[in-house]
A and B are shown apart, each in its own frame.
Chain A
Amino acid sequence: MKIPFRDFFTKDRRLGVAIGRGRYDLPLNKDEGTNFLRLLIALMSFLAAMALVGSFTLDSMTQRWSSGLENKLTIEIPAEKENGDLRNKDDMASLLKQVEAVLRNEPIVKSADVLDDQDIQNLVEPWLGKDAPLQDIPLPGLISVELNSSEPAAMEKMTADIKVVDSGIVIDTHEAWLQSLLKMIGSLRFAAFVVVIIIAATTVTAIAGAIRSRIAVHKADVELLHLMGANDEYIVRQFQRHALTIALQGSLLGTLTAAAVLFTIKLVSGGDTALMLPALSASAVHTVAVAALPLVACGIAALTARFTVLRSLSLMP
């Protein structure tokens, strides 16, 4: 008695042996270039996984920054008056009080905190050092404001009201800074997208080339099958299964390697946020997206093989 699946583990891998529809009449799995193609697909999957994770990370970075800064602004009362004289302490304190009073009457304001000397000290410490003699340095007055919304009309009214107190007061919505940051992230994400497209195009080209060369190698045999009345599907199936197997092996290898590398990076960096980089994102959706890479690779490989073979067959009489 023959064990049905024994052939699967032997070197010939079901060559010419029928088990259901899974059979090769052509020795595709023994062809030269199979290993190369597998390696290429592994590499492409690795790069695609990296590009994907990179773009996801940028994504969550954007979200964190914009949600952190949205609806927040800083009001600055400059240490100098408009004519260049320094404000004295009492002057500054009274201005701060007036602005605070204005803010309290604005419906759009959720909370407002006047930063005291200690807060300011903490802010400038990285630049000036711990024991900076703050008393001798003219410091601006700062109020950190949180808004309920950023509705333009209410914002304008608030700005106008504050300007009444003193026209030199600066209202910083962080918008300009955030905008340029978002712009930069946007172009990085676009670059990642382009990389993914290039990877897909390269993979398609490589697989199509490999399949074409296999058809050339087995031209006489493919023609014979055709002459014996094999329908296109019968022939295509073999090439398609071959491409799919290679793509599955290659892309699993590539994606798992990428996962290992990313995991190592995560371990080494230890979630350190000193660089303002959020820890590598690993949300469920993103994990699924990366895990789906091998499936996408298989789909690309199978379809490419399919159309390449169909094209060659259509040229036969």
Chain B
Amino acid sequence: MKGILPALLLAACTAPAALAGSAAPLLAALEADASRQVGAPVSGSPSRGDTFFHTRRAEWSCSSCHTADPRQTGRHVITGKNIRPMAPAVNPDRFVDRAKTDKWFRRNCQDVLGRPCSLQEQADVVAYLASL
């Protein structure tokens, strides 16, 4: 008992997720799932996430609807509806509900890439957005 608490605290502080503010628990969970899947430690990379987010695929990139600066309000490329900013620093409602995040990764990756995003890619995107 005595040894566990400090160990847990230490683990929480040294993980890159600790820098992610309100998105930290969700990022940590994505990283843990990704690590389990590939059988090696995985951490989200903000720079890889940056590139991924802005790379145009067949028709769209993530920034087509979420804007090139995800701290800004986005706009749906077809319907014109406003989309609240993606960066948790300006919109703390982001990346706090795993079911919601999973649902939108599922839909939007299908639309933009024509395939699901890997857990590594998801962790990269969340690490990038949380670093802004």
Chains A and B belong together in one complex? no
